[in-house]
């Protein structure tokens, strides 16, 4: 057996034994919820609402173990470890977790899009009586149908015509309308945020004075650096003049400014990924294994 395989086998045995001991003693991976009855005023329906609470609240009334959330916690831990298994190499568990993550994300996005778009923005105002009797029991009694919404309903049906065996060209009309409206709206937003706002942010005083009239050295240096950096980067991308002499020196300064900017952006991206990693590790060691307890949610006072 290869040395690497032996090391991974020992890690799996030790980790499996550790999980077995902690699971059998009940000192890990449990989720508790508080159960309350919800009965809105004026509605003829009621339901049970569960809210996750800390394990130290187990002795309180209406607090119980949630098997569904506990199973979900273990499944999340399994898939997290499956993704981490790629550190060893491409394997079956990593492919399984990757495929389920992509599929479930697409399904979740579809359900959220349908509920937030079709149900909340269309059917609720188009068929208020039916929605009040089914999924919106608290909908106002005086809500009336907005027949203007028949237009987006018809366009949505035309969108779905793409899936029909014949007449797929019908979907081009709502698609063209949607793309045109989106481009028009985004053009204004991007023009204001990426053009006008950046110009306004560069129109700043080079000499800054504090509220008491004293000269603010560091604020002035910041503004001067911003203005010089923007102008030098613009000179670098100005190719109508050969980059020699003063223009060449300014262009080289622009290159340094760009490199500093790209480096800071890359560092920010790395820090974001490290934050995601620390979040997953905290989930494993805190929520699942109960090895750490940074906010004291399992300490009994």
Please indicate, yes or no, if residue 16 is contained in any of the structural domains: no
Residues 6+ apart with CB under 8 A from 207: 215, 220
Please indicate, yes or no, if residue 166 is contained in any of the structural domains: no
pLDDT digits (tens, 9 = 90+) for 232-264: 999 999 888 888 899 999 999 999 999 999 999
| Cβ-based neighbour number of residue 251 at 10 Å | 20
Please indicate, yes or no, if residue 44 is contained in any of the structural domains: no
Residue 8, pLDDT above cutoff 80 = no
Residue 301, pLDDT above cutoff 50 = no
C-alpha span between 124 and 121 (Å, rounded): 6
pLDDT band at 43 (very low <50, low <70, confident <90, very high): low
CB 35 within 8 A of CB 46: no
Please indicate, yes or no, if residue 162 is contained in any of the structural domains: no
Please indicate, yes or no, if residue 239 is contained in any of the structural domains: yes
Q: Is the pTM for the entire model greater than 0.75?
A: no
Of the chain, the percentage scoring pLDDT greater than 90 comes to 41
Give me the domain span that covers residue 271.
205-287
pLDDT digits (tens, 9 = 90+) for 86-121: 888 888 999 999 999 999 999 999 999 888 888 888
Of the chain, the percentage scoring pLDDT greater than 70 comes to 97
| Cβ-based neighbour number of residue 30 at 10 Å | 20
Amino acid 70: pLDDT: 92
Please indicate, yes or no, if residue 261 is contained in any of the structural domains: yes
Please indicate, yes or no, if residue 47 is contained in any of the structural domains: no
Residue 300, pLDDT above cutoff 70 = no
Q: Report which of residues 73 and 12 the model is more confident about.
A: 73
Amino acid 168: pLDDT: 85
Count of domains forming the chain? 1
pLDDT digits (tens, 9 = 90+) for 206-230: 999 988 888 999 999 999 999 999 9
CB 200 within 8 A of CB 221: no
Please indicate, yes or no, if residue 249 is contained in any of the structural domains: yes
């Amino acid at each position: 057996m290869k040395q690497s395989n032996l090391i991974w086998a020992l890690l799996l045995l030790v980790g499996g034994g550790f999980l077995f001991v902690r699971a059998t003693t009940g000192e890990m991976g449990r989720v508790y919820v508080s159960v309350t009855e919800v009965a809105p005023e004026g509605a003829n329906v009621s339901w049970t609402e569960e809210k996750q609470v800390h394990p130290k609240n187990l002795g309180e009334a209406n607090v119980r173990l949630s098997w569904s959330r506990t199973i979900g916690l273990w499944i999340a831990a399994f898939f997290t470890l499956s993704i981490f298994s790629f550190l060893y190499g491409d394997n079956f568990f990593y492919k399984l977790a990757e495929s389920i993550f992509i599929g479930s994300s697409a399904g979740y996005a579809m359900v959220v899009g349908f509920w937030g778009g079709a149900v909340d923005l269309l059917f609720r105002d188009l068929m208020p009586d039916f929605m009040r009797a089914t999924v919106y029991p608290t909908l106002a009694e005086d809500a009336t149908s907005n027949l203007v919404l028949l237009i987006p309903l018809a366009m949505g049906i035309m969108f779905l015509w793409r899936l029909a065996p014949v007449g797929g060209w019908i979907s081009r009309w709502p698609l063209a309308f949607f793309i045109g409206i989106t481009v028009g709206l985004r053009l204004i937003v991007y023009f204001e945020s990426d053009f006008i706002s950046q110009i306004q942010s560069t129109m700043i005083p080079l000499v800054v004075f504090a509220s008491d009239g004293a000269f603010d050295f560091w604020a002035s240096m910041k503004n001067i650096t911003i203005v010089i950096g923007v102008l030098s980067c613009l000179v670098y991308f100005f190719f109508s003049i050969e980059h020699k002499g003063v223009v060449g020196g300014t262009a080289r300064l622009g290159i340094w400014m760009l490199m500093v900017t790209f480096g800071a952006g890359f560092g920010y991206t790395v820090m974001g990924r490290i934050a995601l990693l620390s979040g997953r590790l905290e989930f494993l060691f805190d929520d699942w294994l109960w090895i750490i307890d940074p906010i004291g949610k399992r300490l009994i006072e």
